Amino acid sequence: MQVQIITAATRHAALEEARRRLGADPLVLSVRRRRSSRGPDAWEAVVAREGADEARPDPEATWTVSPPGPDAHAQYEALREDLAQLRGQLARGSTARSDVIALAHRMSALEGELLSATLSERQVSPRWTPLVRRLEEAGFAKEDGLRIIESLSQRFTSQEIPPSAYRAELRNLLSEGVEVAPASERVRPGLLLFAGGTGVGKTTLAAKLAADLRLGGSAPPVLGVVRPRPGLGTESLRRCAHTLGVELIEVHDAMGIAQLRERSFEQPVVLDSGSVNPRSAASVESLLELLAPAPEAEVHVVIPASHGIDDFTRTLHAFSACPRLRLSVTRLDEAPFPGRILAASAKTGVPVGYLSLGPRIPDDLARPGLEGLVDAVLRPREGVAA
> Exposure of 310 by Cβ count < 10 A (0-12 exposed, 13-18 middle, 19+ buried)?
exposed
The verdict on residue 333 lying in a domain is yes
Q: What is the pLDDT along the chain (386 residues), one digit of tens a residue?
A: 556 778 887 777 777 788 777 776 677 766 777 766 566 667 777 777 655 444 444 444 444 445 555 565 565 566 556 556 656 655 555 566 666 666 666 666 666 666 666 777 777 777 777 888 888 888 898 889 889 988 888 888 776 766 567 888 889 999 999 999 876 655 578 899 999 988 899 999 999 999 888 887 667 889 999 987 766 567 888 888 998 898 999 999 999 999 999 999 988 999 998 888 888 999 999 999 999 999 999 999 999 998 988 899 999 999 999 989 999 999 988 888 999 999 999 999 999 999 998 888 888 888 888 888 898 888 755 455 54
Domain count along the chain: 1
Calpha distance 189→264 (Å, rounded): 6
d(CA 138, CA 15): 18
pLDDT digits (tens, 9 = 90+) for 184-211: 655 578 899 999 988 899 999 999 999 8
| CATH number for the domain that contains residue 209 | 3.40.50.300
Burial (0-12, 13-18, 19+ Cβ within 10 Å), 84 = exposed
- SS3 string, 15-70, reads HHHHHHHHCCCCEEEEEEEECCCCCCCEEEEEEEECCHHHCCCCCCCCCCCCCCCC
What CA–CA distance (Å, rounded) separates 375 from 170?
Answer: 11
26, 17 Cβ separation under 8 angstroms: no
Please write the tens of the pLDDT for every residue from 269-316.
999 988 888 889 999 999 999 999 999 999 999 999 989 888 999 999
Whether 117 is in a domain gets the answer: no
Q: CA-based diameter of the chain, in Å?
A: 68
Residue 255 lies in a domain: yes
Answer yes or no: is 142 within a domain. Answer: no
Range of the domain at 372: 183-382
Taking residue 24's Cβ as centre, other Cβ atoms within 10 Å add up to 9
Supply φ then ψ for residue 304, to 5 degrees. Answer: -70, 145
Q: Which residues contact 284 (CB under 8 A, 6 or more apart)?
A: 276, 277, 278, 318, 319, 321
